[in-house]
Amino acid sequence: MELPRLQPLYETYKDQGFSVVVIDGKRQTDLAMKFIEKHGLTYTALENGENEAEVVENLFKVNSFPTSFIIDREGRVMYSHLGFEAGDEEHLAEEIESLL
């Protein structure tokens, strides 16, 4: 997962009412914390819950990683994207701009 690729997107649009929230689907706490620190990621990073509080699979039915949703200002999922490869940033930026 090329999570650091989200950082420039976040910095470009955050002043226009844009948030990034990432959820570690597998609760690999130590690894995740190290990764976030090493890459200087400043957006919100949450840890998936356990059992009743588990959301990634139960609520979002996500079992392929990375998966991204773009949610509009009214809280509706307007776009979903599987994988995150070089060049996907432009795709995501277009979608974000169309909703801002």
Residues near another protein (CB under 8 A) are 1, 3, 6, 9-10, 13, 17-26, 28-29, 31-36, 44-49, 53, 55-56, 59-62, 65-82, 84-86, 91-92, 96, 99-100
Strand, helix or coil at 15?
A: helix
Q: Closest approach of Cβ 51 to another protein, in Å? A: 13
Q: Closest approach of Cβ 55 to another protein, in Å? A: 5
Q: Closest approach of Cβ 38 to another protein, in Å? A: 9
Q: Closest approach of Cβ 92 to another protein, in Å? A: 7
Nearest C-alpha neighbor of 22 from the set 66, 71, 75, 85: 66
The Cα-based distances of 80 to 45, 53, 77, 85 in angstroms read 19, 23, 7, 14
For residue 10, what is the DSSP state?
Answer: H
CA distance 16 to 66: 25
